[in-house]
Chains A and B, each alone.
Chain A
Amino acid sequence: MTDPILELKDVHSGYGSIKALKGISLRVYPGEVVAIIGANGAGKSTTLMTICGIVKAERGQVIYKGQVINTLLPEKLPTLGLCQVPEGRRIFPRLTVMENLRLGAFYRKDTDEILKDIQKAYEMFPILGERKNQEGGTLSGGEQQMLAIARALMTKPKVLLLDEPSLGLAPIIVQQIFNIIDRINKEDGTTILLVEQNANLALQAATRGYVVETGQITLEDDSTSLLANPKIRAAYLGE
């Protein structure tokens, strides 16, 4: 098997005296869709924030393409091809859709390419093209989620980290979003690390899954086996 594109080795981190991650180890291979599922407060979002360096890892290593990245500044990561769509979207509400996308391409200097990529984003999300001059904050929740994904794609990521893309969205919109995630993975070959509370949905989209409980990985398996696992069905799928 090839080397993992992203690897976490016994990562510990937290907020002050509260330890959120107590030794997370996981591997993501190129081209995969990997899901991290778990309950509220299990440490899913913190895992992504630690990968991005917003929360500093206290122990352990985050390795991306063979390079230790947890010592880097968070703003370096998009230049390496690692980008996150944060929880709750966090688009820039008073900037227009267009400006939001341009900020995604902030580190890039190739103006012509950026304009082309913006057009590509409008093709992928036609609704954003219709609203390109509208302020981000006036979009609906689903549109904002699309904008957040489109903005992250503007960094031309090799690995895309998605934090709860289904949060607070209507089922039909969630389905759309997951179709798009699938497209990003299949068409562009972007590796995706997905954090979800909606375990059923996440495992259907993913090839492999990790289960996080109180800051530790308790289970790791193919998503089909996880979906079939009676414990998982009882704990996360409500059966």
Chain B
Amino acid sequence: MIHEFKKVWKPYTLGLLWVLGLLWPLLGIHPDGTLSFERTLIVWLYLLVVSFVCLILYLMNKSGHLELMKNPLSAAWSKGAVAAKVPPVWGWFLVGLMLAMLFPLFTGRYHQDVAINVLIYVCLGLGLNVVVGLAGMLDLGYIAFYGVGAYTYALFNIHYGIPFWVCLPVSGALALVVACIVGYPTLRMRGDYLAIVTLGFGEIIRIILNNWMTLTNGPNGIMGINRPGIFFPSFADGFSWEHLWLKKLWLLYYVALGLAVVTILCVHRLNFSRVGRAWESIREDETAAELMGVNTFIYKLLAYAMGGMFAGFAGAFFAARMKFVSPESFTFLESAMVLCMVVLGGMGSIPGIILGAAALIVLPELFREFELYRMLAFGSVMVLMMLFRPEGLLPAKRLGTRSEEREG
């Protein structure tokens, strides 16, 4: 272990000093022009302690001191895995769904609120997954379609009083149409160019929402959007249907859950269909896909439109839940967030994206006190992820295992 330490102490010390040098202007210069060193030092000391503990753990692991702790665990793990024979995917799905169904019974408003947020982002992440993970097109303006969906419901509801359940498919359809219009010229590009152009289109849509005062009420946003309502049978006098606004948060939670489940099922079906295979072939090698008879342009447009549609559904729900929409909710940062979820969770992997969305929503909630450093933590987590698990937390599993492995 001493030997290992000798190898790394130099870059470690240098790195920490470098962080100190960076932190000082970040935290030490105050708006009124004064300078101080105290806060920087405190934060830096925290970092020092945490990173040192991590370093020691890493070194112990590398030189085998942790084997005792790891071994019984991994032994138990492999034994358990053999005994259980790995339950099928839908088994996991059902267990997850059951837990999600029971969730509001044991939790309060705050937790339900966070859970609804997670579910919305699961929908968004899965939609973006179709574009980025399956078809392999980097889309940096994805949140625009979320905005289109939200504004569609908001405007129809405010001006014409059309209820949520009617507007939900309309929002999806409109987002799909906008995605087609945006995609038609842009999808002829590849790689980096596509990323820049989608980024531009995302901003264009946000700026339209911001500046079209007569339609969208500009930066002031639209207020007083109705919640979703449901009809339920009532037997008070005779039989009639009674209308109820879903004002309780746990009822909204179930709507979000339903939306997420539908999205999961759709994306799962798409993933393993002929269309999904065409998308994956485009991601892998566009020219080869073309040579094999895949109409790459149509399938790319389809992926883009499908992604937009899922975002549109999520957007309509978002507007209904918040009862308020403004262009501020649809900035580039949101696009980046959703992209982070997809990349962090594992491109093309549905459970991975669910985990990614949960992680990126729940963790900032848990560490609310450290809100100021959120982006710092975000950045470092991303760097670490790319170094150690470039395929994401739960990488997409192909059917494939090496033939030798299966025989053994």
Residues of A within 8 A of B (CB): 52, 54, 73-79, 83-84, 86, 90-99, 102-104, 106-107, 130-135, 138, 151-152, 155
Which of A84, A99, A103 has a CB less than 8 Å from the CB of B289? Answer: A103
Return the CB mask of B395-406 against A: 1 if under 8 Å, else 0: 000111111001
Which stretch, B75-83, B146-154, B280-288, B302-310, touches the partner chain A? B280-288
A135→B402 CA distance, assembly (Å): 8
A74-B290, A83-B291 given; A92·B274 CB < 8 A: no
For the residues of A in contact with B, the DSSP-based class is mixed
Establish whether residues B280 and A94, one from each chain, have CB atoms under 8 Å apart when the complex forms.
yes
Shortest Cβ distance from residue A230 to the other chain B in the assembled complex, whole angstroms: 38
The 10 A-B pairs with the shortest beta carbon distances in the complex, nearest first, are: A78-B293, A92-B284, A90-B288, A107-B293, A96-B400, A133-B400, A75-B295, A74-B290, A135-B400, A75-B293
Q: What is the interface size of chain B, counting residues whose CB is below 8 A from a CB of the partner? A: 24
A140→B68 CA distance, assembly (Å): 39
Establish whether residues A99 and B277, one from each chain, have CB atoms under 8 Å apart when the complex forms.
yes
Residues of B within 8 A of A (CB): 274, 277-278, 280-281, 284-285, 287-296, 398-403, 406
Set of chain A residues within 8 Å of B295, measured between Cβ atoms: 73, 75
Interface centre among B285, B291, B296 (most CB of A within 10 A): B291
Set of chain B residues within 8 Å of A155, measured between Cβ atoms: 292-293
A170→B237 CA distance, assembly (Å): 87
Establish whether residues A130 and B399, one from each chain, have CB atoms under 8 Å apart when the complex forms.
no
A52→B402 CA distance, assembly (Å): 34
A111→B289 CA distance, assembly (Å): 20
Set of chain B residues within 8 Å of A86, measured between Cβ atoms: 287-288, 291
A86-B287, A86-B288 given; A77·B293 CB < 8 A: yes
Shortest Cβ distance from residue B284 to the other chain A in the assembled complex, whole angstroms: 4
A-B contact pairs, 10 of them (CB 8 A): A54-B290, A75-B290, A83-B291, A83-B292, A103-B277, A103-B281, A106-B278, A106-B292, A106-B294, A133-B401
Establish whether residues B403 and A103, one from each chain, have CB atoms under 8 Å apart when the complex forms.
no
Shortest Cβ distance from residue B46 to the other chain A in the assembled complex, whole angstroms: 41
Establish whether residues B399 and A90, one from each chain, have CB atoms under 8 Å apart when the complex forms.
no
Set of chain A residues within 8 Å of B281, measured between Cβ atoms: 92, 95, 103, 106
Interface centre among A93, A106, A131 (most CB of B within 10 A): A106
